[in-house]
A and B are shown apart, each in its own frame.
Chain A
Amino acid sequence: DTAVSQTPKYLVTQMGNDKSIKCEQNLGHDTMYWYKQDSKKFLKIMFSYNNKELIINETVPNRFSPKSPDKAHLNLHINSLELGDSAVYFCASVEGTPHRGTEAFFGQGTRLTVV
């Protein structure tokens, strides 16, 4: 069973559209993240949720809205997509609070291409 699963794996869409990426983890972890990896492979944190509560929001445009219906799910909705949103988006989870310093488990990524 996949520990952290994201859907879809690939997403091609036109500018101005609204799209969602879903993430689920079956590890029983309390904390989940969204990271963005750009074309130069630089990974930057976007959001962090602990037990459905937003704890980190890294100055991401408000076109990006995360939603955590329960602690096993963290979805990312993006409004009015722009060319610069093209990237690979990774979901990740850690056990307990993020402050404990434990390993993160990553999903396979969603490659978003905005045309």
Chain B
Amino acid sequence: SQQGEEDPQALSIQEGENATMNCSYKTSINNLQWYRQNSGRGLVHLILIRSNEREKHSGRLRVTLDTSKKSSSLLITASRAADTASYFCATGGERGGTSYGKLTFGQGTILTVHP
């Protein structure tokens, strides 16, 4: 079954603006990851946050995790046209759960950054 729901499904912004994407999930998790997919390409790992962490930064990326609300957000600051891609959240299931040992993906957010 689908684990993650992403919001919005599509986001269109101008270069220099910030982009925020949200992800909600249903079951208990061990970790949550964000991936990027350029058109016609494979997925590239961006950042991983563990269930006992609340916030993580990597360059222009900021990820938050709220396990009480079962949600995460990805913020891309000072966006660039090259950030145009689809962004997916993926959850790693907790021990004993049905999602244990695999990554379960959300539907993705299509981000378009206009120059």
Binding site for B on A (CB under 8 A): 4, 33, 35, 40-45, 48, 55-56, 90, 92, 97-99, 101-109
Given known contacts A41-B108, A90-B42, A106-B44, is B101 in contact with A99 (CB within 8 Å)? yes
Q: Which residues from chain B contact A109 at a C-beta distance below 8 Å?
A: 40-42
* B41:A101 contact, CB within 8 angstroms: no
Given known contacts A42-B107, A99-B95, A101-B50, is B101 in contact with A108 (CB within 8 Å)? no
* A33:B31 contact, CB within 8 angstroms: no
Check if B54 is an interface residue, CB within 8 A of chain A: no
Provide a sorted-by-A list of 13 A–B residue pairs whose CB atoms are within 8 angstroms.
A40-B107, A41-B37, A41-B86, A43-B43, A56-B101, A99-B101, A101-B31, A101-B50, A102-B48, A104-B35, A104-B90, A106-B43, A108-B41
Q: Which residues from chain B contact A104 at a C-beta distance below 8 Å?
A: 33, 35, 43, 45, 90, 103
CA distance A98 to B33 in the complex (A): 14
Q: Which residues from chain A contact B86 at a C-beta distance below 8 Å?
A: 41
Given known contacts A40-B107, A101-B31, A101-B92, is B44 in contact with A45 (CB within 8 Å)? no
* A48:B48 contact, CB within 8 angstroms: no
Given known contacts A45-B104, A99-B101, is B43 in contact with A90 (CB within 8 Å)? yes
* A103:B33 contact, CB within 8 angstroms: yes
Contact of B101 among A42, A43, A98, A106 (CB under 8 A): A98
**Interface size band for B:** 20 to 34
Check if B25 is an interface residue, CB within 8 A of chain A: no
CA distance A42 to B50 in the complex (A): 23
Q: Which residues from chain A contact B33 at a C-beta distance below 8 Å?
A: 103-104
Beyond the given pairs A43-B105, A102-B48, 13 more chain A to chain B contacts, judged by CB atoms under 8 angstroms and listed by A's residue number, are: A4-B42, A41-B86, A45-B102, A56-B101, A98-B92, A98-B101, A99-B30, A101-B30, A101-B50, A104-B35, A106-B42, A108-B42, A109-B40
Q: Which residues from chain B contact A35 at a C-beta distance below 8 Å?
A: 105
Nearest-CB residue, chain A, relative to B29: A101
